[in-house]
Amino acid sequence: MFNLALGSRKADCIGGEEGPPAGSWHSCHESSGLSLTFSSPSAYKWASSPSGSLHFSSRGRLVWSQLEIPRSASSTALEFLVFPYHRSQFDSLNHRGFVIQANIPSGNSGEGFAMVTSVAASGDAGTLGSGVAKFSGKVVESKLTESSPVASLPADIPLDALKVVCPSVKETSSSEDDEAYDGPVKTTNGVKLANGDSDTLVLGKNFHDLCLTITEPDFDDEVTGEKDAYMAGVLARYRKTLVERTKFHLGYPYNLDFDYGALSQLQHFSINNLGDPFIESNYGVHSRQFEVGVLDWFARLWDIEKNEYWGYITNCGTEGNLHGILVGREVFPDGILYASKDSHYSIFKAARMYRMEVVKVDTLLSGEIDCKDLKQKLLERADKPAILNVNIGTTVKGAVDDLDLVLETLSETGFKEDRFYIHCDGALFGLMMPFVKKAPKVTFKKPIGSVSVSGHKFIGCPMPCGVQITRMEHISVLSNNVEYLASRDATIMGSRNGHAPIFLWYTLNRKGYRGFQKEVQRCLRNAHYLKDCLSAAGFGVMLNELSSTVVFERPQEESFVLKWQLACQGKISHAVVMPNVTVEKIDKFVKELIDSRQRCFPDGKVVVPCIVDEVGPENCACEEHRGIQPNGTSNGLSH
């Protein structure tokens, strides 16, 4: 039996602990011995159980938390999702409080279970609302009272199939932090992140309370082998989780289609490429010969001669951006950093780290930098050199900044080549663009200073890494002799993963230019297929011309977002079509997205959200903009 309880009475299954505080809900599964207490917006806690205890605390009034409670009998987990809702959605209840909804995924128990519960606006512990439960097509009404604040699910429902969603609203207060709001506010660990506008942030679970604790082996462990058996079980369950989560992955740009079995023979070595990749150090267990081979390959891709470039394989894409911006700052110490507001957050992190003045430039609807706004802001600061970040694929919309237009804008505003430095952030599309027909070229034949890409994205390296290439003439401002290494160093980090260059070298050799070209074309083709499927199903959707990132309206079910690991921002979400994303996976995703939307509108009257500000009228499917053509005219569809 799985119980959802609302009230303040002592819960029998907690075993000696205090019951839930006033205005809280409590859940307990008797067979697993696990229990959870979630209280009103002002406080909440975990309750301990005979099989162990968990602790989670909050400083704030409103909490976002995704909590997984592992069961010893199964590698699956019961997930609790907590998020706020807007009062107007539940005006008929005349209450402000909690709404609890439990969904059983399709394939387990048909239509699933849903329950709605509310707490009176007064917040009194004894004032409870009513609930409605739906299971397997049957409707069950449940009255919750102070003496009987428990609604039960049938015992035959599998625990590992149950997901509980508990939204809450914020109480009105006269203080600045508690002022009335006009939309959802989502926070984690009590820290407010947004005020209900389209930039509302949603954070995940706090793993500090869910970590795998490290314990000392028992004195007789060498004989019994219990610790080894325990760790083997943990790893086996973790592998099962990885396999399952990899099946449902669309929101982040990782190529999961790879096989590096041939490289397993090298995992017994601590390979470290510390220092300059072109100068050997005293540490002999390195892979510099592989690293320089990879760098030469990218130098050819971006049209720069061997004796004119310097670069290295970074630990991630962010490090490439940090290095590129750092070179620009060292070349122009008083330079101002210009970056579009759609640039990756690491660009603005670099500005904070280096104490640089940064100017955010507006973007077009596509996400591309607005060169008219760039021109105005350059003219306002024409007395100082310009350090520019140019996006070769923005994070959310996959937009590619027009490098030629940026260069033209610099020329028009009086910035000659000796007064600007351009870093190109090509995390994903920096490797795809060279293989797209008629795409503008990213090349060092143009006056750019550096280019960086991620190695774990399109290439498909299993560990985070990246490639950073800059001009040799610029690197002297960073390079220093290191006697301890008997080498030079101009990198951001000290020790560098020596395995990553081998993985990159292996893939580049196996696929070559022709192999990557085929994969790029397939990704773009499948991205258009996904866009067409979503559009045909009545979703607002946008796809930039040179991109495989499909932007669409944000799913209303957070459980769906979590399942498919979608990246969301405000009213929109996106799916990044990578080489491992097949037509079959796209079909499954679209079908489940349609089913998810139908669950949100059980009466069949679907209300499509307006995302015109994010994707434009021709890509918005709401009632007002449905059927609008790019030229602003209607195609005859009903509005």
Per-residue pLDDT tens digits for 194-250:
333 333 455 666 766 678 888 888 888 777 788 888 899 999 999 999 999 999 999
- From CA 337, how far away is CA 349, in angstroms rounded? 12
pLDDT of residue 203: 60
The interaxial angle of helices 288-301 and 499-536, nearest 10 deg, is: 40
The interaxial angle of helices 345-353 and 317-331, nearest 10 deg, is: 50
- Judge whether residue 162 has pLDDT over 70: no
DSSP 294-327: HHHHHHHHTT--GGGEEEEEESSHHHHHHHHHHH
Looking at per-residue pLDDT, the higher value among 358 and 47 belongs to 358
- Of 16-30, 146-160, 169-183, 504-518, the range with the highest mean pLDDT is 504-518
Q: Where are the alpha helices (DSSP H) in 203-254?
A: 221-224, 226-247
Q: What are phi and psi of 277, to 5 degrees?
A: -65, -20
Of 65, 281, 547, 559, catalytic? 547
Per-residue pLDDT tens digits for 390-441:
999 999 999 999 999 999 999 999 999 999 999 999 999 999 999 998 889 9
Q: Which of 106-110, 300-304, 361-365, 548-552 has the lowest mean pLDDT?
A: 106-110
- From CA 621, how far away is CA 551, in angstroms rounded? 13
Question: CA-CA distances (angstroms) from residue 464 to 179, 259, 454, 499, 502?
Answer: 42, 16, 8, 11, 13
- From CA 59, how far away is CA 597, in angstroms rounded? 34
Q: How confident is the model at residue 484 (pLDDT cuts 50, 70, 90)?
A: low
* 549 DSSP β-pair partners: 576
Average pLDDT over residues 147-163: 38
pLDDT of residue 273: 95
Q: Which of 190, 272, 299 is nearest to 493 (CA)?
A: 272
Between strands 130-135 and 24-29, the pairing is unpaired
- Judge whether residue 91 has pLDDT over 90: no
- Judge whether residue 308 has pLDDT over 80: yes
pLDDT of residue 630: 59
**Token couple for 46:** 């975990």
Looking at per-residue pLDDT, the higher value among 530 and 35 belongs to 530
- Judge whether residue 166 has pLDDT over 90: no
Percent of all residues in the chain with a pLDDT value above 90, rounded to a whole number: 55
Compute the chain's Rg from CA coordinates: 28
Percent of all residues in the chain with a pLDDT value above 70, rounded to a whole number: 64
pLDDT of residue 158: 40
Q: How confident is the model at residue 631 (pLDDT cuts 50, 70, 90)?
A: low
* 50 DSSP β-pair partners: none
Ordered by start, the domain boundaries in the chain are 2-209
- Per the prediction, the chain carries an average pLDDT of 73
- Judge whether residue 447 has pLDDT over 90: yes
Give the 3-state secondary structure of residue 507: helix
Q: How confident is the model at residue 355 (pLDDT cuts 50, 70, 90)?
A: very high
Q: Is 31 a catalytic residue?
A: no
- Judge whether residue 52 has pLDDT over 80: no
Average pLDDT over residues 326-337: 97
* 337 DSSP β-pair partners: 358, 387
Q: How confident is the model at residue 538 (pLDDT cuts 50, 70, 90)?
A: very high
- Predicted TM-score (pTM) above 0.85: no
- From CA 184, how far away is CA 203, in angstroms rounded? 13
Contact 123, 95 (CB under 8 A): no
Q: Which long-range contacts (CB under 8 A, 24 or more apart) does 520-529 make?
A: 520/432, 520/435, 520/436, 521/435, 522/579, 523/432, 523/548, 523/577, 523/578, 523/579, 523/581, 524/436, 524/548, 524/577, 526/577, 526/581, 526/582, 526/583, 526/586, 527/577, 529/583, 529/586
- Judge whether residue 191 has pLDDT over 90: no
pLDDT of residue 480: 72
Q: What angle do CA 533, 539, 544 make, to 5 degrees?
A: 70
Looking at per-residue pLDDT, the higher value among 79 and 339 belongs to 339
pLDDT of residue 204: 64
Q: Which of 126-140, 385-399, 449-463, 495-509 has the lowest mean pLDDT?
A: 126-140
* Dihedral of alpha carbons 495, 322, 431, 541, sign: positive
Average pLDDT over residues 33-45: 31
Hunting for tokens 């979703």 — which residue is that? 539
pLDDT of residue 217: 84
Q: Which of 54-68, 197-211, 272-286, 319-333 has the lowest mean pLDDT?
A: 54-68
